Structure 1
Amino acid sequence: MDPTQERDAKYDGDYIHTEHGDEESRSSTSKQELSIETDVPPDGGYGWVIVACVFWLQVNTWGINGSYGVFLSYYLTNNDFPNTSSLAFAFVGGLAIGCAYLMAPVTVCLIRKYGTHVVLVSGIVVQSAGLVAASFATRTYQLFLTQGLCFGVGMGLIYMSYLGIPPQWFERKRSIANAIPAAGAGTGGVIYSLAIQAMIERLGLPWTFRTLALVSLAANLVSAAFLRDRNKATESRHTAFNFPLLKNFEFVLLLGWAVFSTFGFVAINFSLPNFAISVGLTAHQSSIIGALHNLGQGVGRPLIGLMSDRLGRLNIATVLSLMCGVFCFAIWIPARSMAVVSLFATIGGMVSGTFFATVAPVFVEIVGLQDLPGALSLLWLVLVGPGATGEAVAQALRRPAAGEAAYKQVQIFSGMVYVAAALCLWVVRGWKVRQCRMEETRQTPVEEKECETVVVTLEPRDGRTLWHPLGMGRDMVRWCCV
């Protein structure tokens, strides 16, 4: 038998073909590695259609949610829902985020059973139904059930269905392919922040909700029609809860980065419009501030992805998380005029969403592509708390009687959590650098790979652990493109 026939025979022995044409592995370890090696992501082609679809799905899900600051400012300055506290209104927006995150394990199970498109379309219908129902709300609890619970569940089903798809289509350009769709949240926030304020003034609150429902329904259904996943090609393991990952300290630190980043992002994103009013700006100017913050996200997230692919995903995510904390202290706290508030809204928006622009590529660096669905389901479950309570915490820290300094404690809180997020990720970066350096010493010239592609846990030959304090300290300050 010649080498070609021998190789073909080996491959035929490794896999069986089901009646549906899917390849199933006979061995859970070595054969999966063989499949991963033979599958090469297109790194372009139809992948860019996928990026465009996910971008518009982001526009019409998180873009609408990102405009909740306009709704919040309206609720706080009008009496449409009498005897309702600012904390209760804050929980409406937080509930939507919390429900979206809570849908992660549910979505993973549903996709495994019914497929991506069934779950995606179901989420689109539920989200639109929530907005329509909100247009008939006359009491606060009805807002919780519609704009909070129903809208959040639909948004979660949509988001968790498409989140892991762009990384399946790219390898070298994975960060930019993830960051462009992430920019959809900012782009949608710009569009909807300005549109919602104008619609409320001209059409009233009920018809604003109905218009949002119809527009988002149409746009999301068109995007869903062109979306395609590569779950079979990548052999993604759709495990609802991959609890063994919690045994890895580096994964726990990633969750810390996510929790702190979410607290900071929600507090800034929802508080900025009302903060603008607290320093003497008008309602129209406050909607512009909200739009500028979303514009910053729309511009910044693709740039973050581009820099991440060139300079390292962990490097960029760490530095920009720290920069956002610095901006909170250096620009937001002293901001009193429209110009300075606009400056913070724009440049703060460019970096405040660093987590959302880099979450999938960063997690792939640590856990690998196969375990990404399970890792993300754990992540979103952990983020239910900060997502649901982030703005409530901000409203609890707000001091309306303090006048222009009403949001000072919120500003300090936001800055501190972003600094904490950067510290968590800095330690993970040191772990990754150390892992890469140890792997390089074990590779032969033929086996050498780029530093950033190493995603397996290693056992160093000399008995040292990856978490050796002195070695970690050196590698945390050592340059490496990770």
Structure 2
Amino acid sequence: MTQSEEDVGTDMSQTDNEKSDPETAKAAEQAEKAERTQPTEHYDDPDLDKGYAWVICIAIFILNFNTWGMNSGFAVYLSDYINNNVYPGTSKEQYSFIGGISFGVGLALTPVINYIYGIIGVKTTVIMGNCMQFAGLFLASFTTKYWQLVLTQGLLNSFGLAFIALPAITLLPQYFKKKRTMAAGLATAGAGAGGIVYNLGMQKILQVKSVHWALRAQCIIAFGLIWISIFLIRSRAQHHKIVFTAYDPQVIRSPGFYMLTSYIVFCMFAYTILLYTMVNFTTSLGYSGYQGSIASALVAAGSVIGRPFTGVIGDRGGPITVAAIVYAICAIFTFSMWIPARNLATVYVFSVIIGGLMGCVYTSIGAICARLSGLKKMNVTFSMVWVFMGLAGIFSPVIGLKLKQGSGGYVDPTQYLHCQIFVGFSFVGCSLSAFLLRGYIIARDKVHDDSDTMVDLDGDVLHLGTDMKSVLKGVFQLRSKRIV
């Protein structure tokens, strides 16, 4: 027999064996499919969930302390502006608009800031924000007219906040995966700690000196502390191939984007109005401005404990699921405890509880955006969602004061009833939006599991779609294959 005949015989023998064993061929095909659909993990990176990742967490804690924490201290300034008529001829709505501007205008322009961030890098972006925030508050301390306050404590301070906050909130998901929500909880606790320090500290300076000296002290403290974070932060955007654009049509076409936007807007309505109202609500019960500032500080104190706690629970139960439940609880406490509150003890207890719960949005938003759009398009999703967060933040304080009855400065807690009802129903809307988003992610994950081409849930997942029936089914599904 020739060599070619032997080869032919061997091939025929192999073919016969394959035909005679179809189960083996089927098993091999399934193994190949499983290999294709196995998610690509990044745990070969020594900094993921450990090592320098925790240094980044500390750096973000400091940034949150001196941005969101400091901004929450505006309640002290708002109370002083309104009660002492610091700028004659200015209405309470105009004063509250300063808080809305400082919170929201910069965030509304985050798509542009995200594009700049991609060009100049994380350190330069934060340095620019630090300088703008310092300049805004320092110049505000010398203002004598309302329009000057709008430009300084309002606009310039707002741009500084946004230039710092966007890099801060998008860095953590680059360093964490399994402990992503817990790390966010620990880092965002800095906002609560900052709220305590700046509320009580600036209130004392305001009493001893003046509102202008409080502004000077605040900006100097924040400017110095932020430099610590600037020296510590590092970006890993190139490793994850993160997209830094102002707009992405694929994000706009995703139904999950609108569910996330609804969740953010409702949350900002409730969060901002409640945060800026606690001081004046306490004084409407007949207590002093200092006692009111303690109530505001207790909201911040609650977040120091509550945010890490919701972060740990979020890693176990899923950030979206936990957020939906937390904001349902917030609605219950608003209706059952805040509305009937008529003494200082009740206000203080409510402040601690609601402070520990309502900041869940900052704990969950990083993990939710990464889950919705993947790490690659997380930044652009953040920036596009923050446009709506900024707009909600701008108008929330004004809405809160418009719903308040009377001009303030007198004892009557019922003047805040409409405001409290609005906050309660905003928490309800926030919870329902989160449950709907949860259903969408669960339904989309099922599409992923049935796909041969999708290989990484941290990759580009926006092209995966689902139907409304599957979304609603996912809302009521108690357990899912992956944490949502």
TM-score category (smaller protein):
0.7 to 0.9
- Give me the whole-angstrom Cα distance separating, in 2, the residues matched to 1:119 and 1:147: 20
- Give me the whole-angstrom Cα distance separating, in 2, the residues matched to 1:300 and 1:53: 20
Cα deviation, 1:263-302, whole Å, max 9, x if unaligned, reads 1100000011101111212111101000001111121111
Provide the residue aligned with 1:266 in structure 2: 272
Provide the residue aligned with 2:415 in structure 1: 406
- Pairing 1:456–2:461 present: yes
SS at match of 2:170: coil
- Pairing 1:430–2:429 present: no
Counterpart residue identity of residue 50, structure 2: G
- Pairing 1:225–2:231 present: yes
C-alpha change, 1:39 and 1:259, in structure 2 (3 Å) is same
- Give me the whole-angstrom Cα distance separating, in 2, the residues matched to 1:291 and 1:380: 26
Check the 8 A contact 1:75/1:89 in 2, yes or no: yes
- Give me the whole-angstrom Cα distance separating, in 1, the residues matched to 2:368 and 2:46: 20
Counterpart residue identity of residue 406, structure 2: P
Check the 8 A contact 1:440/1:448 in 2, yes or no: no
SS at match of 1:407: helix
- Pairing 1:419–2:419 present: no
Cα offset, 1:209, TM superposition = 1.2
Check the 8 A contact 1:318/1:425 in 2, yes or no: yes
User: 2:180 aligned to 174, 180, 186, which one?
Assistant: 174
TM alignment of 1:32-47, pairs within 5 A: 42-47=48-53
Provide the residue aligned with 2:359 in structure 1: 353
Cα offset, 1:448, TM superposition = 10
- Pairing 1:291–2:300 present: no
SS at match of 2:376: coil
- Pairing 1:118–2:127 present: no
- Give me the whole-angstrom Cα distance separating, in 2, the residues matched to 1:152 and 1:248: 29
Counterpart residue identity of residue 405, structure 1: T
Q: Across the two proteins, how many residue pairs are aligned to each other? A: 441
* Structure 1, unpaired ranges of 5+: 1-29, 460-464
Counterpart residue identity of residue 394, structure 2: A
Max Rg structure:
2
Cα offset, 1:475, TM superposition = 2.4
Counterpart residue identity of residue 107, structure 2: Y
Cα offset, 1:443, TM superposition = 8.0
Counterpart residue identity of residue 477, structure 1: F
- Give me the whole-angstrom Cα distance separating, in 2, the residues matched to 1:62 and 1:476: 32
Check the 8 A contact 1:51/1:177 in 2, yes or no: yes
Cα offset, 1:477, TM superposition = 1.3
Check the 8 A contact 2:77/2:211 in 1, yes or no: no
- Give me the whole-angstrom Cα distance separating, in 2, the residues matched to 1:174 and 1:133: 38
SS at match of 2:477: coil
Check the 8 A contact 1:103/1:157 in 2, yes or no: no
- Give me the whole-angstrom Cα distance separating, in 1, the residues matched to 2:315 and 2:154: 36
Check the 8 A contact 2:108/2:391 in 1, yes or no: no
* Structure 2, unpaired ranges of 5+: 1-35
SS at match of 1:111: helix
- With normalisation by structure 2, the TM-score equals 0.86
Quote the RMSD (CA, aligned, Å).
2.3
Cα offset, 1:38, TM superposition = 7.0
Cα offset, 1:73, TM superposition = 0.8
Cα deviation, 1:11-34, whole Å, max 9, x if unaligned, reads xxxxxxxxxxxxxxxxxxx9xx98
Provide the residue aligned with 1:14 in structure 2: none
Provide the residue aligned with 2:99 in structure 1: 93
- Give me the whole-angstrom Cα distance separating, in 2, the residues matched to 1:209 and 1:291: 17
- With normalisation by structure 1, the TM-score equals 0.87
Provide the residue aligned with 1:339 in structure 2: 345
Counterpart residue identity of residue 223, structure 1: S
Provide the residue aligned with 1:371 in structure 2: 377
Counterpart residue identity of residue 466, structure 1: T
SS at match of 2:225: helix
Cα offset, 1:400, TM superposition = 2.3
Provide the residue aligned with 1:279 in structure 2: 285
Counterpart residue identity of residue 99, structure 2: G
SS at match of 1:383: helix
TM alignment of 1:64-103, pairs within 5 A: 64-103=70-109
Cα offset, 1:434, TM superposition = 2.4
Cα offset, 1:456, TM superposition = 2.7
Cα offset, 1:422, TM superposition = 1.0
Cα deviation, 1:181-214, whole Å, max 9, x if unaligned, reads 1111111001110001101111222221111111
Check the 8 A contact 1:194/1:291 in 2, yes or no: yes
